[in-house]
Amino acid sequence: MSEATDPWLIVGLGNPGPEYATNRHNVGFMVADLLAERIGGRFKRAQKAQAQVVEGRIGSPGPANRRVILAKPMSYMNLSGGPVTALRDFYKVPTDHIVAIHDELDIDYGMLRLKLGGGDNGHNGLKSMTKSMGSDYHRIRFGIGRPPGRMQVADFVLKDFSSTERKELGYLVDRAADSVECLLAEGLERAQSAYNS
């Protein structure tokens, strides 16, 4: 059972390297970057894992203030489980205090869904995490919608957001970051009722 004092590990899923930075598949990195900015931290290489991390606190001073480790695995998406498990073990984070932020094909663009546990829905980052440590972690699913026409899923997720999508992207990433803060401060049910769409 997790204690209120246990740290939280917030993992943005994506692929490392500038060529992937603005892909749909990297929206988890975008949210993690914004959260790092909010807590005034800078990502640096983790000592014990193939990841970049920022340590800090989220939430207003008082009981809702949470110690967090923000992380971006520097493996490729389909190998995310190794770095996340190494960070979990190093920082002694209970699995139900891990939050994965990821792109989700089966939700319309910009919609959010928060949940605890469940399947991977074909998402390679989640598949790797679940294989490494079980499925009892939180997910913030950021909708990217389905590929148009006959475009392959792999091609779609590794493309940048369209110019129309980019107009709203900043606001939507901001909202996803807000949902992380709400989850940590007020719990899953409150965050779901405020942000699930």
Instruction: Catalogue the active-site residues.
Output: 25
DSSP label of 83: H
Whether the CB-CB separation of 157 and 85 falls below 8 Å is answered with no
DSSP label of 79: G
Give me the numbers of helices (H) and strands (E) for the chain, helices first please: 6, 7
Six-digit token string for 68: 């967090």
**Residue carrying the six token digits 């959010």:** 112
Which of 58, 39, 46, 69 has the alpha carbon at shortest distance from 184? 58
Residue 44's alpha-carbon distances to 1, 5, 33, 80, 111, in angstroms, are: 30, 24, 12, 17, 30
